[in-house]
Amino acid sequence: TKAFPKHPFTQFYRISATGRWYTEVIPHRFSILAFKLKGGIEDLYGGSKSDPTRSIPQTHRFYAGGGNSVRGWNSRELIAGDPVLAQYGGNVSLEGSVELRTAVLQSLKDDLFDKIWLVQFVDVGNVWGKMRDFRLSEVAIAAGLGIRYETFFGPFRMDWGFRVFNPSEPPGQRWITQ
């Protein structure tokens, strides 16, 4: 017998990138415009590509929705196509965000209330099963408001997002105005 039995494994690659940009709208850090763009793709390769029993492990797939994603959806709730498939994730991801962060009480300079920020945001994104499934018309849009409080270990935040465009709704019911 062998000490290490031969176990099947899945070969896959994953490419992902995130960019973040910040600019002051009003000098002296009173109002900041923050941008985020994130995308990724993954697929099987080698012997795994030709084996129909192989798939990318669920723990390595892309998911969308939630506090660090498109905030109008719950965590891991957003996917192009059938919403039931969201629990399985996807192999292609695209997300973006624009935030206007305003320190409304910065003029107090009291080291307590001057650390409060109000945030307005717009998020876009979705997850697709395969690259051939990608459609710009399926990019979801959410908007919302948030509040941040700066601490020495990072910001404490609360966000409230709502769906502006939901691509999984039937045509004629996708926009918030419909």
pLDDT by position in tens, the chain (length 178): 456 556 667 889 999 999 999 999 877 778 999 999 999 999 998 888 888 888 888 899 999 999 999 999 999 999 998 877 888 899 999 999 999 999 887 656 666 667 899 999 999 999 999 999 999 999 999 999 999 998 888 889 999 999 999 999 999 999 999 8
Q: What are phi and psi of 63, to 5 degrees?
A: -135, 155
Other beta carbons within 10 angstroms of residue 63's beta carbon come to 19
- Distance separating alpha carbons of residues 82 and 57, to the nearest angstrom: 20
pTM of the model: 0.86
Give residue 72's region: left, alpha or beta (phi > 0; psi -120 to 50): alpha
CB burial of residue 61 (10 Å; 0-12, 13-18, 19+): buried
